[in-house]
Amino acid sequence: MRGRPNLYTEYKAEMGLFPSMSKKIAIGLLALIAILGPLAALPFLGFAGDASWLILVNKALVFAIAALGINLLTGVAGQVSLGHAFFMAVGAYTAVVLGGEAGNTVWGLGLPIWIWLPAAGVAAALIGVFVAPTAVRVRGLYLAFVTLGLVFIGLYLWRNLGKIAGGPGTGRPWPELEFALWRNMDPLVSFTSDGPLWWWLTPVNWLPWVHIEEMDGEVKTFFFLVVLVAVFAIIAKNLMRTRIGRSWAAIRDRDIAAEVMGVADAKGKTQAFGISSFYAGMGGALFASVVGRIIPESWDIFLSVEFVAIILIGGAGTIVGTFLGTFFVVLSPRIVENVTGFLATQAEDGGPFSWLGSIFVRSSADDWIGIVSYPDAAGPGLSVAQLNIVLFGVLIVVFLIAEPLGLYGIWLRARNYWKGWPFTY
């Protein structure tokens, strides 16, 4: 209704994917930025086409797929899980066995992406369904410990299954993101190699300041991942709107009451574990393929904690919050490093922020004050990597206490304030 965007007269309208015109416009603008940004076609976002930033953005897109899975499990179904890294590893190693090349010390079938990528999700989902009957018997902190045990079991397996995971500390190469009809055939489309545009595209010259004859591999990977993220986000959103998703929410809010009302508690939790594991397996396969080589020790507890931080900082139970948390967690280390370097330069050159740099950055062992040691970690201060870990911990505590809905909750507060301004009620 015009002028009343949040007034719904039909349940179908309220449960729509984009129920208001403002959301439709926002999605359209986001899609436009996603298309033009990597092509360096936006006036104020030219840096978005740099390979160094695209590598981080591509990692964020891969993490977003896995984060959608843990959001369904923890944010929607209310099942606390610290084992997401284990299911990502299951998907990654399924992908490398099916799609990787065989060697003297490793297995590989060399199958194309349209086989190994879905199989990675299916294998992780089967493991998730197999583990679910044990996990659904406990709840809360005990469930977190059960799933945490999976990570340590996985680390032991990956270190000792050299035929699958490669050697400890070295790993093995993963199959590239390229589409071929069958093994040992030339790829029809390569999403990672620099070169001409794909055969169905023409040079991009429809903007006066943009003319692109070929694309970098990072740009091709970006567009491939954007399509996958959009598909998985729509599937997750539709799951939340269906009877299955509503049963998960009922289990999350009060599982005993939900079971009394007819919701199959064990079945719902098993479904949540299976679907979440499918997302994790797909994310793990894509992550390993984008990186190129993963060592067995990478699938550790800190990776699982990163995904917990994503949904807590972004906003548990929401798709938008999942994306906000993912990009915040993945991009914040780079931003922190750049800000630290800027403050160190200011302190050294006597710039306008030299006073802040002198307080925040310890550039040599002779400095008396400073929180962060930069660039060579001189003195007793924190390194940039350690600072990021501390920030994650602090932000998790702050958001749990002050804003349980995370960044999405802050956005809701700001939106509601301006909608009601100048009134305070």
Q: Tell me the three state secondary structure of residue 241.
A: helix
289, 163: one domain:
yes
**Domain assignment present for 283:** yes
Do the Cβ atoms of 128 and 278 come closer than 8 Å?
yes
**Domain assignment present for 20:** no
Convert the pLDDT of each residue in 231-250 to its tens digit.
999 999 999 988 999 999 99
**Domain assignment present for 215:** yes
337, 291: one domain:
no
Do the Cβ atoms of 71 and 316 come closer than 8 Å?
yes
Residue 391: domain span: 300-425
260, 288: one domain:
yes
175, 293: one domain:
yes
Retrieve residue 120's tokens: 């990675």
Q: Which of 283, 299, 315 is the last residue of a domain?
A: 299
Q: Is the entire prediction scored with pTM above 0.95? A: no
Q: What's the pLDDT at 197?
A: 63
Q: In total, how many domains does the chain have?
A: 2
* Of 100, 69, 149, 61, residue with least CA distance to 294: 100
Q: What's the pLDDT at 102?
A: 86
176, 320: one domain:
no
212, 330: one domain:
no
**Domain assignment present for 73:** yes
Q: What's the pLDDT at 207?
A: 61
Q: What's the pLDDT at 206?
A: 58
281, 314: one domain:
no
**Domain assignment present for 145:** yes
412, 315: one domain:
yes
202, 151: one domain:
yes
Q: Tell me the three state secondary structure of residue 335.
A: helix
99, 148: one domain:
yes
Q: Which of 268, 299, 330 is the last residue of a domain?
A: 299
CA angle 296, 124, 326 (to 5 degrees): 75
Q: What's the pLDDT at 73?
A: 94
392, 310: one domain:
yes
**Domain assignment present for 237:** yes
**Domain assignment present for 30:** no
344, 313: one domain:
yes
Q: Which residues of the chain have pLDDT under 70?
A: 1-7, 44-49, 196-213, 364-368, 375-379, 424-425
Q: Which of 299, 322, 346 is the last residue of a domain?
A: 299
**Domain assignment present for 403:** yes
**CB-hemisphere CA count at 13 Å for 157?**
13
